[in-house]
Amino acid sequence: MKPIIQFGSVGQAVKELQILLNKIQSALGRISEDGAFGQKTRLRVIEFQRSCGLTPDGIVGPGTWGRLLGTNGSGANGTSASAEPASPASQPDGTPAAGMVSPSAGMPANEAAARDRIVQFALQNYQQYGGWKQGVDRPSPTDPRVAGKLCADRSTRLRQGGKAIMNIFTIAGGPAPQRCLTLTEQAEAMYQRQYSASERNNTDIVSWCGIFSLYVHRSVGLKTTGWPLKYSIGKPKAQDEYRIVTWPKPGDIGVVSPTGLNHHFVVTGVDDSGISSVDGNAGALMEIVQRAYSKSEVKQRQGYFLSPVWEKVLA
């Protein structure tokens, strides 16, 4: 039986996947057969899954392997494998599952390459997991898009996009990733009324906008440790992995309302009027969204930006 592999996996199974994908005509072009499941391999997998009518989640399980190997989605015992199973990104104790490696995309060559990779990866996450339209889209366990306050399936209590959120928590080192997969009735009821941050943290998963930002940085190969999204007042200290800057470059992490909401986001574009971003745990339903922040809004909300200490995170 072929292993379940996904973004961040490495090894012979990934190389076999890449060889099989390169035999299929694609508008995305060839990918390196290097045994590392990076961004280009994931996009090729999603393209292939869509062409076969499989869930386009970028995870290569029995259904995707079956189609690639020409078994028409049937497993060795003749049962259907056209639908991929829910593949936890972590073990019950929260540690990464087999085949999952972080940081996952290799080390960028320099700051410019790292910033470009951060922006592209953040946008790809929005394209794959964002775009939920409240009042239009209907919850479904086969839809990978994130709307974390919604239950995707009443019988299993699967959270809408819970698998994606669990992967984010696992790579970023967020607490209890396994809790992301399902939404309890108690948590669902809480989201229908006013609640405090403390109640939310005790009833459901913690706020994950900063976790999403760190996930993006770690996924593209930045070497960070523990919870690095902090900085020293005044002169930076030797242990700092991020420095505070008053205005960002693409790839930096923004923070607004630090004494209240304390919202984090990944900066994807900068001009004289403001910035564009990809934000996790945003919107009305705990979504992944694209936003724009004007200079005046950043100032009004006491915003600042965190830029990696490149000589440390690329060491």
How do residues 237-270 score in pLDDT, each as one tens digit?
Answer: 888 999 999 899 999 999 999 999 999 999 999 9
Write down the pTM of the prediction: 0.68
- Distance (Å, rounded) from C-alpha 125 to C-alpha 164? 9
Q: Which residues pair with 116 in a beta bridge?
A: none
Q: Which residues of the chain have pLDDT under 50?
A: 72-105
Residue 28 pLDDT: 80
Would you say domain 1-85 falls under CATH 3.30.530.20?
no
Q: Write phi, then psi, for 10 (nearest 5 degrees).
A: -140, 155
* In contact, 247 and 305? CB cutoff 8 Å: yes
Residue 302 pLDDT: 95
How do residues 40-52 score in pLDDT, each as one tens digit?
Answer: 888 899 888 888 8
**Tokens standing for residue 199:** 């109640």
Q: What are the start and end residues of each CATH 1.10.101.10 domain in the chain? A: 1-85
* In contact, 73 and 80? CB cutoff 8 Å: yes
Which among 12, 226, 223 has a CA at the least distance from the CA of 104?
A: 223
Give the CA distances from residue 255 to residues 169, 224, 298, in Å, rounded to whole numbers and listed in that order: 19, 18, 9
Q: Write phi, then psi, for 186 (nearest 5 degrees).
A: -65, -45
Q: Which fold has domain 226-313?
A: endopeptidase fold (from Nostoc punctiforme) (3.90.1720)
Q: What are the start and end residues of each CATH 3.90.1720.10 domain in the chain? A: 226-313
* In contact, 298 and 274? CB cutoff 8 Å: yes
Query: What are the DSSP E strand ranges found in the chain?
Result: 151-153, 158-159, 242-245, 253-256, 263-270, 274-282, 287-294, 304-308
Residue 283 pLDDT: 94
Residue 67 pLDDT: 92
Could you please report the per-residue DSSP string of 90-146?
B-TTSPBPTT--SS-S---SSHHHHHHHHHHHHHHHHHHH----TTTS---TT----
